Homo-oligomer: A and B are copies of this chain.
Amino acid sequence: MITIGQLADYAGVTTKAVRHYHERGLLAEPGRDSSGYRRYTAKDAVDLVKIRTLANAGVPLTRIKDLLDADQDTLTAAITEIDHNLHDRIAQLRRTRDQLAQLRGGDRLFVSPEVADYLDDLRELGVSERQTHLERDGWILMQTASPEDASVWIAEKRELIADPEFRALYLEHDAAYDWSPDDPRLPALADRTRTWFASHHSRSETRPVHNPAIARLAAQSQPGASSPAWDRLAQLMKG
């Protein structure tokens, strides 16, 4: 006959937890001694260890209660199932560890693998961090608003960026961000851009034309997403 504190120590829990299990009907209330103290037997110790083992496996107390007075077959089946999702939870935690590692750097956590690859390509081309960041945010919004479209668009964009002519235009647009709005190179750049789009437009399929400026537009609402030169460029291309 042991006390609640001894029982609790045996199972590695607090006395509070033991009383909690009494309240929830998981552990039978034991007899009391002459001063009202609870007095436990070995059976209680066995039951408590079972409770803790199941609880450690993440089984809710209400279910533990049911399992404790279920027949052997039910219990065995339940344990098999509990073990299965314990296995799954371990796998999940491992995945979380990987994601945690990616939190240190890289965008792979925030966009699809295809977009992440595309962003890596941009960095390799020497595209500015500002621009890459702008693109990333654009793709996040696109993927969120319409994942299927985004997946089509990213495929097109990756083809596009493989074209040396487009690549040159893209890099010059990137550089233009810091130019003066009066810079004489702007009208010429606008012109070349329009020409390029005109000559590649016909290749587009029946679905809505994918303007590569969409990424920029999507990110437009963010602070610092444009510059005087870019505003001017947009005007020139419209006119």
Binding site for B on A (CB under 8 A): 1-2, 6-7, 9-10, 41-43, 45-46, 49-50, 53-54, 56-57, 76, 79, 82-83, 86-87, 89-90, 92-94, 96-97, 99-101, 103-104, 109-110, 136-138, 140-141, 143-145, 219, 221-222
- The answer on a CB contact under 8 Å between A96 and B137 is no
Residue of B nearest to A219 (CB): B42
Identical subunits present: 2
Main secondary structure of the interface of A (DSSP, over half): helix
- The answer on a CB contact under 8 Å between A141 and B53 is no
16 contacts across the A-B interface (CB closer than 8 A): A2-B141, A10-B140, A41-B222, A42-B138, A42-B141, A45-B141, A53-B96, A54-B100, A54-B103, A56-B96, A57-B96, A57-B97, A82-B100, A86-B93, A86-B96, A86-B100
- The answer on a CB contact under 8 Å between B97 and A87 is yes
- The answer on a CB contact under 8 Å between A86 and B97 is yes
- The answer on a CB contact under 8 Å between A56 and B6 is no
- The answer on a CB contact under 8 Å between B136 and A42 is yes
- The answer on a CB contact under 8 Å between A145 and B83 is no
Task: Tell me the smallest distance from the CB of A151 to a CB of chain B, in Å.
Answer: 14
- The answer on a CB contact under 8 Å between A141 and B41 is yes
- The answer on a CB contact under 8 Å between B49 and A110 is yes
Residues of B within 8 A of A145 (CB): 2, 6
The 7 A-B pairs with the shortest beta carbon distances in the complex, nearest first, are A42-B137, A42-B140, A10-B144, A56-B96, A53-B99, A45-B140, A6-B144
- The answer on a CB contact under 8 Å between A109 and B144 is no
